[in-house]
Structure 1
Amino acid sequence: MSKTFSFELPSQVPAEAETTGNAMPTDLKSLLGTVYRRFWLIAISFLTVFMLVAYVTFTATPTYRSTAVVQLDTEQQNVIDLGSVLSGLVASTAVIDTEVMVMQSKSLLTKVAEKQKLDEDAEFNWTLREEKPGMFDGLKRQIKSLFGMSTAKKDPFAGMSVDERNAAIEDAVVGTLMSKVSVGRVGTTYLISVTVTSESPETAARLANAVADQYRVQQMETKLDATRRATEWLTDRTSALKSEVEDKENRVAKFIADNDMETAMGGTITEQNISYLTTQKTQAEVELNRARSRYDSLQRQIASGAGVDGISEVLESQLITNLKQQLSSVRSRVEDLKTRLGPQHPELIGAMAEQDDIERQIQAEMQRIANNLENEVKVKRDQVNRLQGQINQAGSKLRGNNLANVRLRELQRDAETSRILYEEFISRSKETREQSDLIEPDAIILSNASVPHSPSAPRTKLNLLIGAVLGGILGAGLALLAEMFDMKISSSEDIEKKLGVNAIGTVPLIKTSNALGFGQMNPADYLIENPLSAFAESVRYLRAAIAFSDLDSETKTVAITSSLPDEGKTSLTLALGRMSAMSGARTLVIDGDFRRRQLTDAAGLKPEIGFIEYLFGAGQLSDAITKDPKSMLDILPLSLTGHTPHDVFGTRAFDDLLVRLRSMYDLILIDTGPLLLMAEARVVSGKTDKAILVVRWRHTNRSAARQSLGLLKSFKADLLGVTLNMVNLNRRRHYRDPGAGYDAYRKYYQIETKPSLFGFKWKSAGKKDDGSVRPKAIQTPPSLAEHSSEPPEKVDAE
């Protein structure tokens, strides 16, 4: 099964541990511990930065600085005021900063480079320098030859024409000059300093003065050029405005003519015509009303049945009068004939016919009079309508004239504006031509640059001091960064504050070897040989923690597990079992790591019937349990063929075994596999009274331990606590651990022992060849190597 590891960043630390997590050390002891732990990182960083600064300082070419000061003249006076055309500088920060940028601009410095012929100076023209072999040139050539690359130097101007080559050199010269020129404002004054750095003191002074002088010359040229361009522009503009004024005045006159907008007697012709037509219309309407009244009266009289004598219009007709006389005479004659003649008399009939004819003529005349009145009304009406049409037509024309008046006034204003502008430009053109002889620059050179007598750089002492400070800062920063990203568990305080669980002791690292030279001594064997050692005392403390873990009920079954392999849980389980058995308690240790069976190997057992065989009914429990040859401990080992793919701890047989073993033993320890790699370890942890998580000092990652604690919680395991294993007592004092260091253990456990079977004995502390104190340890034969904590597989059986 492959191992998996996770890397935890500081931001992943739980909220409850952030206040005391990987925070930067604040007290003196923590700082000294950090310095001790990261000494080589700090030292290498310091020496690297310091030596680099020293090398650059002592190999740098001395340079000289010279400064010229320019004063801006903000009170320039013009004899003729030209407004913004030729005004002096305005006293504002923005303007002064702009002038600073102008003085160090590429255009100005290009003119300085041309006038000073800097392309002939090797300091500025790199093509004139003699090439010196660099420190790594030989190495570069060897590397290129190794990879089959050409070692011949490439021509940077390959493929360029002569003009392009000269332009490239000129750009390089100007770029070098720009890097050597520094322009800045002096405080909040109107003074600007021009500082030039050069390898030659004379060149530095010469170029500083040249830049200041070129700035004044450029100001003069700029103003003269502006005056010249202003004069030319004003002349051209005046001529254009003259033509524009003439054109606009012609447009006004043409618009008046096209729209009949000529005026007479204070008003337009259209307005006078409308007034005349309105008068005519009024008269026509009066006549129309009179005719309509007569016609309406005639119609009413006719409709009412009035006779000829009752109609006034008829009475005025001479013809009607004559007809009425004739009718009266005929009627008299008819009446006379009726009295004298019979009704069929021809004379009477003729007289009656004449009477009817006269009456018809009267009616016809009356109708003719009515028709004449009606025609007169129509004529008068038509006359009024015609006049109204003429008035409407004139009104439309007048409205058009009003709209045209708006356009006319616009054209007149435009023409007037152009005329005023034309006159202003004529005046400004004359002023500009007069002012061209009075132009002065806006700056004066307050002080010229002098030739410096001593170099300004490099400043050896200051550079070395800066290098030392930067080296120290870098080393300290890297050390603190390494501390912040250190995710390893280093102390009981880390367990309690960063993992949030109880810490139940720390087990020291054993530095010893087998006396016979047949390999490393097992920690459980070391416990037998040294029952009063610090290691034995830590195991004894762990046993006491188990015994007093629960005062209400007896703790008999304990699962001892770890997050990953090589954390020492197997050796610690065997040592804890032996310590319990040596104390008189009936103790059983079960090897529950089916894949590696390390506890069985550590105890030196090779059983044919073991834990698996018993669970699956292949043997008796008495046959499977083996007595530890070095103590009174009982061990339930794993046989060589004991690996099984089945879930052992989840079976009913295992539950029955635990019940049976509880009645037989005082303490049952189960060595499980790693929690993050084996599911069996999680199951068995939930079935025991207590569970102990073993973490290895400065080896176990906090994220792995936190994941293991989460798994134990999810399987409802009763966690007794976390044990910190394989602690290097000599190095632990440099970590934030309230526990005792190596010196305290050495003083307390410093005893004289008889030579053991393997020839070991304690010896007093001495000094190493380098003068440092050598901690007390077990004296071993000269042929044996000291057992160290690295690599982990040489320290523990796991």
Structure 2
Amino acid sequence: MDAQVDDTFGQQDVGGSASLDVNRLIAAFKRRLRLMIGVAAAVFLLVVLVTAQMTPKYTATAEVLLDPRKEAVAEMQSVVSQLPASTQAVDTEAQVIQSRSVAEKVVAKLKLDQDPEFNPDADTKPGLLDGLKAFAKSLAPKASIDANNSEIAQRKHEKVVDSVIKGLTVKRVGLTYLIDVSFTSKDSAKSAQIANAFADQYLLSQLDAKFDATQQANEWLNGRLADLRVQVEQAETAVGQYKIANNLMSSQGATLVEQEISNLDQQLATTRAEQAEADARLNTARRQLAQGSTGEDVGEALTSPVVQQLRRQRADVTQKVADLQGRYGDRHPEMLKAQRQLADIDAQIKQEISRIISNLSAQAEVARQRTASVAASVGQSRGNLASNNRDSVKLNELQRNADSVRLLYESLLNRFKETSAQQGLEQTDARVTSRARIPTKQSSPKVLINFAAGLILAMGAGIAAAVVAELLSSGLGTAEEIQDRLGLPALGSIPSLHTMIERDQNSKIKAVDYVIEKPLSSFTEAFRNLRASVLFSKVGQAVRVILITSSLPGEGKTTSSICLARTMASMGSRVVLLDCDLRQRSVNRMLGFEADVGLLEVLNGTATLAQALVHDKLSGAVVLPLAKGAYTPKDVFGSAAMQNLIKTLRAEFDIVLIDSAPVLPIADTRVLASLADVVVVLARWRKTPLKAIESTLRLLSPSAYVSGVALTQVDMKAQSRYGYGDPGYYYRSYQKYYGG
């Protein structure tokens, strides 16, 4: 009969699927309302106390803008480039602002290591213990003391920096280039001062970084230029020496040999032209003479002033001969003289032409010799040029090396001039757009927000406490839970009497007497319901012997047994109640009598049944009690006498009720259970652990028939408020139905 446990908070199987029963959920929270209110009140009170104890703090905020726009004072490339306008850059700068290096500068500038808010030791006065420590240090070696003091001072400084960083908050404003630099302090003025100090130190750190970078660049460039200057001088000296050594001197971009060859080529062309011209004049003159010419038509003769003069003379003489011939005839002396004179002139012209031809031949020979000489010079120069070209390969290598070193030197020299000019012109990549002002309102604690959060937290804690309490609850509260968790019928719910008695009624009346004095009350009706449930629990079989038990002590077995016996007797049944709890003898105490003989005496044969039976005058029920001091450790319930007694009582009475001991601590009940027709297990409302009931059912199951479970000591007022799933949930609806 293992229990089938379901979710108390309203989860149940309906047709194989889980569904939420809202009424059960509400009822569960109603059950834990006091716990919820108590936990919520405690949490809220704790929040109020913590808020009241918190030291007021103030937050001041400075606003820094990462400005991508820069003033172009000088059109020169900076050593450190500007920040890129990207999200990553803004986030990075936000981290730089709250970096430890900036915080250390702020601590040093504002001397925060002397502020008690950040350094608790700054406000501590030396005491006796400090004096003893100082005396102990004085006995230690000086080197050890110095090292220890340095380490302690460093640790204190680090703690101060950590404390300052803890009060700093740096965040980007949305997706803009703005960064809020906030600082929280106990002093409003101090918070503004430190926030502004962080913003200022961040800007100074940017300038310092750029200044240091520029200075380092200048130092590096200066050293590099000195090295390159020496390299340039060495490279150029090597080029010059190589030119001198290999006769590679140049002028106007060409070597002297190249210039000489160029001049000789021009001279060679000129001499060859002159030679060709001289040869042409000579050959023309010779060809004309060979063709029978007198030479007068030779070009040089035509231009010769001597020939021209002789021709004029010949023309005059020829004219004179013609005149004389016409006048005197051929034989005249004058005629002959004139003819001789003409012959002399012709001879002179011929001689002059011969001389001109000879001169042309001489000029042609000179031109040929000059051409040959120039050609020889050109050949020699070309040989020198070929040698120079071979030497120029090494020269070109030396020249390229010199040019590259010179180019690098000039480039670094220009960069050095630029970086030198930039010193003092460094600009930050950010600016403070709004300096922090002294706050007029505290930033923490935020009383209203704390109270609102505390209220929410209290409500959540209350609900969580209710959920945890309900989940940890192991008791049974409703008939539905009995059926779902144990798989047994719920026989009824027996209320706790004090929860049903009104204020104007006698609250001192006993429960066992209440069923007699108030036969029409709902309390008595609960036992009538229990009677009906038990008697009809075995379909088709009469129930005569009923064992009433529970898992643990204090669950109302004896009270329920007496009330049930009196209720049955009042309804006309012959009822006998056996007190089988050998250790308690509670029936005697509750009914207010002491018996001289009882159950054990009957079983031992020292008394008869008639002598031991006690009649209840109020109800008519019969009681077989336990006599005082009659306890025996023998297994009396498993004896034949006990079996015979049950048979005898079954024959004489309509109902035999057995009030037994709890099942878990006492083994006698399991023996008695085998003698009863049915066993009624009582469980205290929301108190008896479910595991205890399950263990009880496992112990009884081999030899007894358990008709079901009945709840006892039910708080009807509470059950009517949140006992959803139980008839008591409707107690307020039918409460007035009962007359008393």
Q: TM-score, length-normalised on structure 2?
A: 0.61
Please state if 1:213 is matched with 2:208: no
429 and 682 in structure 1: CA distance in 2 versus 1, 3 angstrom threshold: farther
Offset at residue 43 of structure 1 (A): 5.8
SS in 1 for 2:470: helix
SS in 2 for 1:505: strand
Question: Could you tell me which amino acid in structure 2 is paired with residue 506 of structure 1?
Answer: S
570-579 or 172-181, which moves further after superposition? 172-181
The offset of 1:594, in angstroms, is 1.5
The reply to whether residue 497 of structure 1 matches residue 494 of structure 2 is no
Q: 1:573 deviation in Å?
A: 0.6
- Residue 562 of structure 1 deviates from its aligned partner by 0.7
Preserved contact between residue 565 and residue 575 of structure 2 (Cα < 8 Å): yes
Structure 2 match to 1:344 = none
Matches within 5 A, 1:112-123: 112-119=106-113, 121=115, 123=117
Contact 1:611 1:638 (8 Å CA) reproduced: yes
- Could you tell me how far 1:213 is from its partner in structure 2? 2.7
C-alpha distance in structure 1 between counterparts of 2:465 and 2:132, whole Å: 41
User: Does the CA contact (< 8 Å) of 1:74 and 1:88 recur in 2?
Assistant: no
Report the counterpart of residue 251 of structure 1 in structure 2. none
1:44: Cα distance to partner? 3.2
Aligned residue number for residue 97 of structure 1 = 91
CA distance in 2, matches of 1:17, 1:477: 16
Pair 1:53–1:425, CA change in 2 (3 A): farther
Q: For residues 459-503 of structure 1, what are the alpha-carbon distances to aligned partners after superposition, in whole Å with 9 as ceiling and x for unaligned?
A: 443344333333333334334433333333333333233433221
CA distance in 2, matches of 1:152, 1:692: 77
Q: Give the aligned partner of residue 174 of structure 2.
A: 187
Match of 1:537 among 509, 522, 525: 525
Q: In structure 2, what is the Cα distance between the partners aligned to 1:19 and 1:477? A: 12
Q: Check whether the contact 1:234–1:425 (CA below 8 A) recurs between aligned residues.
A: no
In structure 1, what is the Cα distance between the partners aligned to 2:174 and 2:34? Answer: 49
Work out whether residues 63 and 434 of structure 2, in 8 Å CA contact, stay in contact via their aligned partners in 1: yes
Amino acid at match of 2:462: G
* 1:177 CA drift (Å): 2.2
Residue 52 of structure 2: which of 50, 55, 76 is its match? 55
1:102-501 paired onto structure 2 within 5 Å: 102-119=96-113, 121=115, 123-126=117-120, 167=154, 170-225=157-212, 436-437=419-420, 440=426, 443-452=429-438, 454-458=440-444, 459-501=446-488
Match of 1:635 among 615, 623, 627: 623
TM-score normalised by L of structure 1: 0.57
Structure 2 unmatched ranges of 5 or more: 13-18, 138-144, 228-404, 502-506
From the superposition, tell whether residues 497 and 691 of structure 1 become closer, same or farther in structure 2 (CA, over 3 Å).
same
Q: Distance in 1 between matches of 2:601 and 2:551?
A: 27
Residues 597, 532 of structure 1: alpha-carbon distance in 2 compared, 3 angstrom cutoff: same
Shift of 1:153: 8.6
The letter of the residue matching 2:56 is T
Q: Is 1:749 aligned to 2:735, yes or no?
A: no
Alignment deviations for residues 258-304 of structure 1 (CA, whole Å, 9 cap, x no partner): xxxxxxxxxxxxxxxxxxxxxxxxxxxxxxxxxxxxxxxxxxxxxxx
2:534 pairs with 1:546: yes
Q: CA deviation at 1:586?
A: 1.9
- SS of the residue corresponding to residue 552 of structure 2 reads coil
Which residue does 1:69 correspond to in 2? 64
3-state DSSP of counterpart to 2:488: coil
Residue 664 of structure 1 deviates from its aligned partner by 2.4
Cα offsets for 1:80-105 (capped at 9, x unmatched): 999xx955545665554333222112
Q: 1:428 to 1:535 in 2, by over 3 A?
A: farther
**Structure 2 counterparts to residues 647-658 of structure 1, below 5 A:** 647-658=635-646
1:679 aligns to what?
667
User: Structure 1 209/551 Cα, relative in aligned 2: closer, same or farther at 3 Å?
Assistant: closer
Equivalent of residue 651 in structure 2, options 635, 644, 663: 663
CA distance in 2, matches of 1:708, 1:702: 10
In the alignment, is the contact (CA less than 8 A) between 2:579 and 2:624 conserved in 1? yes
Q: Cα 1:547–1:118, aligned 2, differ >3 Å: closer, same or farther?
A: closer
Q: Tell whether the 8 Å contact from 1:559 to 1:672 is kept in structure 2 after alignment.
A: yes
Does 2:559 match 1:571? yes
Counterparts of 1:703 and 1:423 in 2: how far apart (Å)?
Answer: 99
Return closer, same or farther for 1:35/1:569 CA change in 2, 3 Å cut-off: closer
- Flag the 1:210–1:653 CA change in 2: closer, same or farther, 3 A: same
SS in 2 for 1:210: helix
Kindly indicate whether the alpha-carbon contact (under 8 Å) linking 2:493 and 2:714 is maintained by their aligned counterparts in 1: yes
Q: What letter matches 2:486 in structure 1? A: L
Answering whether residue 689 of structure 2 is matched by residue 694 of structure 1, we say no
| Distance in 2, Cα, partners of 1:34 & 1:632 | 40
Cα distance in 1 for residues equivalent to 2:596 and 2:218: 118
Matched residues in 2 for 1:430 and 1:681: separation? Answer: 112
Could you give the per-residue CA deviations for residues 733-752 of structure 1, whole angstroms, max 9, x where no partner exists?
2332443466446422345x
Letter in 1 for 2:435: A
Alpha-carbon deviation of 1:555? 0.8
Residues 580, 195 of structure 1: alpha-carbon distance in 2 compared, 3 angstrom cutoff = same
Residues in 2 aligned to 1:424 and 1:181: alpha-carbon distance in whole angstroms: 52
Pair 123,574 (structure 1): closer, same or farther in 2 beyond 3 Å: closer
Shift of 1:621: 3.3
Answer with 1 or 2: which has the greater Rg. 2
> Identity over aligned residues, as a percent?
31
**Equivalent position SS for 1:564:** coil
Given that 1:21 and 1:498 are in contact with CA atoms closer than 8 Å, whether structure 2 keeps it comes out as no
| Contact 2:62-2:199 within 8 A present in 1 as well | no
Distance 1:193 1:711, change over 3 A: same
Aligned to 1:559: 547
Q: Which runs of 5+ in 1 are unaligned?
A: 1-11, 132-150, 241-421, 514-518, 752-798
Residues 238/679 of structure 1: CA separation in 2 closer, same or farther (3 Å cut): farther
Cα pair distance change 1:189/1:433, threshold 3 Å? same
SS across alignment from 1:733: helix
SS in 2 for 1:565: coil
The answer as to whether partners of 1:41 and 1:479 remain within 8 angstroms in 2 is: no
How many residues are aligned here? 532
Q: CA deviation at 1:691?
A: 1.0
- In the TM superposition, residue 17 of structure 1 has moved relative to its aligned partner by 4.8
Does residue 638 of structure 2 align to residue 644 of structure 1?
Answer: no
- CA RMSD, aligned part only? 4.5
Structure that is richer in helix per residue: 2
1:508 offset after TM fit, Å?
1.8
Deviations 1:676-703 (A, max 9, x none): 1111212322442211111122432223
Distance 1:643 1:236 in 2: 115
| CA separation of 1:152 and 1:553: change in aligned 2, threshold 3 A | farther
C-alpha distance in 2, partners of 1:211/1:445?
12
- For residues 47-87 of structure 1, the C-alpha deviation after alignment (integer angstroms, 9 at most, x for no partner) is 51353255247xx43524122223164999999999xx955
- Relative to structure 1, the CA distance from residue 654 to residue 79 in structure 2 (aligned partners, 3 Å threshold; closer, same or farther) is farther
- Give the Cα separation in 2 of the matches to 1:424 and 1:188: 46
**How far apart in 1 are the matches of 2:481 and 2:5?**
14
Q: Does 1:510 align with 2:497?
A: yes
Q: Does structure 2 retain, via aligned residues, the 8 Å contact 1:20–1:497? A: no
Q: Is the 8 A contact 2:683 2:709 kept in 1?
A: yes
Distance change >3 Å, CA 571–CA 463, structure 1 → 2: closer
